[in-house]
Structure 1
């Protein structure tokens, strides 16, 4: 039997991940997860409220790390720069757990119930990040936009890191935020800028 609650949680998470990959999420029961982990179903429910939550156990740690990193970001940074600083620090949590993070993302990608839960978790995470930015005196409107944009860039970088492990998560994060800056700096094509309000281009002399 596991000697600690933390060990039991890890075993349940690993068992769930194995079964979801082997059988699919919908075909796996909590009793089967517990049995694979060498535990009973009562123990499963002491640690997780349902079989979806077993794959989202690290969310609270990531949220705490992100909000703390935003709070401790150097003065003078713009909102997205604060978030890049925070994501680079917090991304170590994912890197340290890559053997779990990689197959976890694969399972979520092919499971509608898990994608739905991930969207809810993402909304909660961006709300926490936006609040952290407001505490750094970022205006409400900008805090919300920065949090949502920054989280999308972080998620993009995490997926790129899974697809291309030859580069570190940190390198993918830097690339994603560089791409954000490039997108915002790109001027629209000249014809688009020259269009009038009714969608027609002005006459040329």
Structure 2
């Protein structure tokens, strides 16, 4: 190991994603990630519990953004409007990392265990939204439904964004998807 360099966590995350894209998740070891980052395996495990967590490390921050945005939504906002505002704030966090998000998603799409972990992350986001809505006085059923619908809209918009079907910001995809949902619901 050479001279100390800052941002060990970031270097590990970049090295891991590069290797996952090059070799595949299953064919990449923690030792290889640490070596590529110029660090030790011990340092890796100080920052991440396992090699999966490199891909999901920002989940807590995203949940904090969602909860805060729902809490700060205007009192007059409907549950779905509060969820939409929260998803737009989350989109702002993700926006600067589109290429990272695209590569991360390609790694997840290629591995069923990672797909399962992604579903757990999305369920956690939904639970965060529902809890935040309940704190606003929304009943359990409405809070849960608004949160689940919001996550469905988010998944659809996120997929379009990372696949680059159109050159737009994630928030625009979210708004279009939510408008589409409202149109479908109005026709029902």
Shorter-chain TM band: over 0.9
Q: TM-score, normalised by structure 1?
A: 0.87
* 2:173 alignment partner in structure 1: 172
Aligned 1:110-129 pairs, distance under 5 A = 110-129=110-129
Is there any run of 5+ residues in structure 1 with no aligned partner, and where? Answer: 188-205
* 1:46 alignment partner in structure 2: 46
Question: For residues 140-165 of structure 1, what are the alpha-carbon distances to aligned partners after superposition, in whole Å with 9 as ceiling and x for unaligned?
Answer: 01111111110111121111111235
Secondary structure of the residue aligned to 2:50 is coil
What is the Cα deviation at residue 105 of structure 1? Answer: 0.9
Question: For residues 71-130 of structure 1, what are the alpha-carbon distances to aligned partners after superposition, in whole Å with 9 as ceiling and x for unaligned?
Answer: 000111111111111111221111122231110011111111111111111112211111
Secondary structure of the residue aligned to 1:2 is coil
- Aligned equivalents of 2:45 and 2:89: distance in 1? 32
Structure number with bigger Rg: 1
* 1:136 alignment partner in structure 2: 136
What is the Cα deviation at residue 181 of structure 1? Answer: 0.4
- Aligned equivalents of 1:58 and 1:88: distance in 2? 17
* 2:5 alignment partner in structure 1: 2
What is the Cα deviation at residue 43 of structure 1? Answer: 0.3
Aligned 1:104-115 pairs, distance under 5 A = 104-115=104-115
- State the aligned residue count: 184
* 2:186 alignment partner in structure 1: 185
* 1:68 alignment partner in structure 2: 68
Range with bigger deviation, 18-27 or 90-99: 90-99
- Aligned equivalents of 2:118 and 2:107: distance in 1? 12
Question: For residues 28-53 of structure 1, what are the alpha-carbon distances to aligned partners after superposition, in whole Å with 9 as ceiling and x for unaligned?
Answer: 11111111111000000000001100
Native 8 Å contact 2:130 2:143 kept in 1: yes
Aligned 1:9-24 pairs, distance under 5 A = 9-24=9-24
Q: Which has the higher contact order (CA 8 A, sep 6+)?
A: 2
* Stretches (4+) displaced over 4 A: none
- Aligned equivalents of 1:25 and 1:117: distance in 2? 13
- Aligned equivalents of 2:87 and 2:122: distance in 1? 14
Native 8 Å contact 2:126 2:147 kept in 1: yes
What is the Cα deviation at residue 170 of structure 1? Answer: 1.1
- Aligned equivalents of 2:68 and 2:103: distance in 1? 28
* 2:153 alignment partner in structure 1: 153
Alignment RMSD: 1.1
